[in-house]
Amino acid sequence: MAEVLLSLKNITKSFGNVIANNNVTFDIEKGEIHTLLGENGAGKSTLMNIITGLYKPDSGEILWKGKQVEINSPMDALKLGIGMVHQHFMLVRNHTVYENLFLSVDKPPFLLKKQDILDKINGIIEKFDLNISLNDPVWKLEIGKQQWIEIIKLLLRDCELFILDEPTAVLTPQESQKLFEFLKGLRDSGKSIIFISHKMKEVMDISDKVTVLKKGEVVKTLKRGDFDEKILANLMIDRDEEITFERKLLKEKKVILSLKDLYVRNEKGLSDLDGLSLDIYKGEVFGIAGVAGNGQKALAEVLTGLKKVERGQILINGQDMTYSGARSKYIAGIAHIPEDRKTMGIAPDMSVEENLVLKNYKDKQFRKGIFLNFKKIRENAIKKVEDFDIRLASLDQSVRFLSGGNIQKVIIARELSQHPQILVALYPTRGLDVGSAEYVHKVILEERDKGVTTILISEDLDELLRLSDRIGVIFRGKIIGIVEPSKTTITEIGLLMAGHKNEN
């Protein structure tokens, strides 16, 4: 029988009247990859914050190697041998790789031997063929390499339990496969991993066990061989029937958006877009694939008037919109689902009904002379909540108290309310559970059938292949290849994402 490394017994945690974890009980054995699955709001993040010492449980016990422990801080967790790689990395961006790694070593300064630490770091880099220069500042590195730095930090501390939260979100398929091989090697050496992901294919590939959470409670823990994608989805999702949708062929290929030789620089003076050119058809879903940091965000911001073009041209239906601001772009028919829904997509302390009219409160339908027509604003909110299945306690509640999926529905409902010509969707399902993500997919394809063009920027290749009519791969600010989902492979897209242009 395998040795139990970490045991959670009846862990309960509440925030006011909301129960985030309710009598959660499960074990992590030594030498296993244990995946945690659940919809947004299922309690995964709260549970990981308890394990790593950011929260204290209201009740219940944590056992480490059979002994009851109290984890009151992340430092307590690290001393036990528990480390976590968060979605947002904990790195000093202006310091070098070596400096970041050196800072993570938990020893008094007078005991630190720089050469010993350097030898250990180089040994890890060489063993796993990571191709990382220790002298580079972190801000210069690709996101995937920054993630490896976080993992090396935990290896330097000799952690026995690694928690990885959506680790493949910033990786190419090849990098993801390399990470999986690395994690399996860790497991085989006796380390344990808690793996959090919404991508079912990844879960099937890497998991020895899966624990499913729903509404703060453990639904079931299953061993490999006892689960498949359908079983896990049914355990996760709280709905009566599966969402289904069909794709229709484009009737014609009429260019609605033309981007000509766009150049954009960031605040550091470096190129975000470097001569990007692209034609997009009316009514198509055009997917943008690429490793994070290759110009995706700049492209979305340029299209929605949030960033200025250094040179180049943006034509919408032949009209030059290159230097138009966000308001003009919105009036011209461009809607936007931003990357960070909580900081850019909503006014968090305003109510749901107020957020639903943030962009069109000046319209005559919502005004009585110079005053707002609150009756019409309420009627609009009631209709949007029903049409987009937004789950909430009250129209008056602050939108920030909604789950991630419901915040995204508020944004989508608002952006589509003016019947746009073009929807720019930047990572629209990032961090969403299976049910919420499928709902977003359904809306995108329904809008496609109405003639709306969607530019879908995503890190999820399965999502892009499922929804897109064409996929453009962005690398260092340029589109270096365009493929059709039915005529390509993930390997081909992955090579393009790594900069290997197909000359055929």
**Residues of the chain scoring pLDDT < 50:** 240-241, 504
- Cβ proximity of 29 and 64 under 8 Å: no
Separate counts of helices (H) and strands (E) for the chain: 16, 22
Same-domain pairing of 455 and 475? yes
Same-domain pairing of 312 and 180? no
Question: For residues 486 and 494, what is the distance between their CA atoms, to the nearest angstrom?
Answer: 16
Determine the structural domain holding residue 155 and report its residue range. 4-236
Kindly report the backbone phi and psi dihedral angles of residue 252, in degrees, each rounded to the nearest multiple of 5, phi listed first: -150, 165
Nearest in space to 305 (alpha carbons), one of 286, 324, 333, 281: 324
pLDDT digits (tens, 9 = 90+) for 60-78: 999 999 999 999 999 999 9
Nearest in space to 25 (alpha carbons), one of 54, 50, 53: 50
In the beta sheet, which residues pair with residue 335?
Answer: 423
Domain boundary among 417, 438, 454: 417
Same-domain pairing of 103 and 151? yes
Same-domain pairing of 132 and 23? yes
Question: For residues 339 and 458, what is the distance between their CA atoms, to the nearest angstrom?
Answer: 10
Per-residue pLDDT at 17: 77
The CATH number given to whatever domain includes residue 278 is 3.40.50.300
Same-domain pairing of 413 and 429? no
User: Which residues touch 470 (CB under 8 Å, ≥6 apart)?
Assistant: 284, 286, 287, 482, 483, 484, 485
Same-domain pairing of 18 and 149? yes
Per-residue pLDDT at 73: 93
Per-residue pLDDT at 331: 58
Sheet of 334-337: strands edge to edge? 334-337, 422-426, 453-457, 285-289, 470-475, 478-483
- Cβ proximity of 373 and 367 under 8 Å: yes
- Cβ proximity of 378 and 367 under 8 Å: no
- Asked if the structure places residue 223 within a domain, the reply is yes
Same-domain pairing of 219 and 91? yes
Kind of pairing, strands 371-372 and 367-368?
antiparallel
In the beta sheet, which residues pair with residue 285?
Answer: 454
Same-domain pairing of 503 and 398? no
3-class DSSP state of 7? strand
Same-domain pairing of 188 and 301? no
Q: How many CB atoms lie within 10 A of CB 100?
A: 22
- Asked if the structure places residue 203 within a domain, the reply is yes
Q: How many domains does the chain have?
A: 3
Q: How many CB atoms lie within 10 A of CB 216?
A: 23
Within 157-312, residue ranges assigned H as helices are: 173-188, 200-206, 229-236, 296-303
Per-residue pLDDT at 107: 62
pTM exceeds 0.75: no
SS3 track for 122-191: HHHHHHCCCCCCCCCEHHHCCHHHHHHHHHHHHHHCCCCEEEEECHHHHCCHHHHHHHHHHHHHHHHCCC
Q: How many CB atoms lie within 10 A of CB 437?
A: 23
Terminal-to-terminal C-alpha distance of the chain: 55
Per-residue pLDDT at 240: 46
Domain boundary among 171, 202, 236: 236
Exposed / middle / buried, residue 191 (Cβ in 10 Å: 0-12, 13-18, 19+): buried
Alpha-carbon dihedral sign for residues 51, 56, 62, 64: positive
Same-domain pairing of 130 and 196? yes
Per-residue pLDDT at 266: 78
Question: For residues 115 and 444, what is the distance between their CA atoms, to the nearest angstrom?
Answer: 55
Nearest in space to 442 (alpha carbons), one of 493, 407, 408: 408
Question: For residues 159 and 250, what is the distance between their CA atoms, to the nearest angstrom?
Answer: 53
pLDDT digits (tens, 9 = 90+) for 103-138: 877 765 556 677 888 888 888 888 777 778 898 898
- Asked if the structure places residue 244 within a domain, the reply is no
Same-domain pairing of 474 and 352? no
**Which residue has tokens 């690709």?**
142
Same-domain pairing of 326 and 354? no
Kind of pairing, strands 478-483 and 470-475?
antiparallel
Inter-CA distances, 134 with 73, 104, 129, 141, 240, Å: 29, 14, 14, 11, 52
- Asked if the structure places residue 125 within a domain, the reply is yes
Kind of pairing, strands 192-196 and 255-265?
unpaired
- Cβ proximity of 463 and 493 under 8 Å: no
- Cβ proximity of 144 and 172 under 8 Å: yes
Per-residue pLDDT at 241: 47
Question: For residues 418 and 128, what is the distance between their CA atoms, to the nearest angstrom?
Answer: 51
Nearest in space to 322 (alpha carbons), one of 415, 258, 226: 258
Alpha-carbon dihedral sign for residues 386, 392, 395, 398: negative
Domain boundary among 374, 402, 417: 417
- Asked if the structure places residue 246 within a domain, the reply is no
Inter-CA distances, 336 with 142, 258, 399, 423, 467, Å: 26, 18, 18, 6, 18
- Asked if the structure places residue 243 within a domain, the reply is no
What is the rounded radius of gyration, in angstroms, for the C-alpha atoms of the chain?
A: 24
- Asked if the structure places residue 249 within a domain, the reply is no
- Asked if the structure places residue 338 within a domain, the reply is no
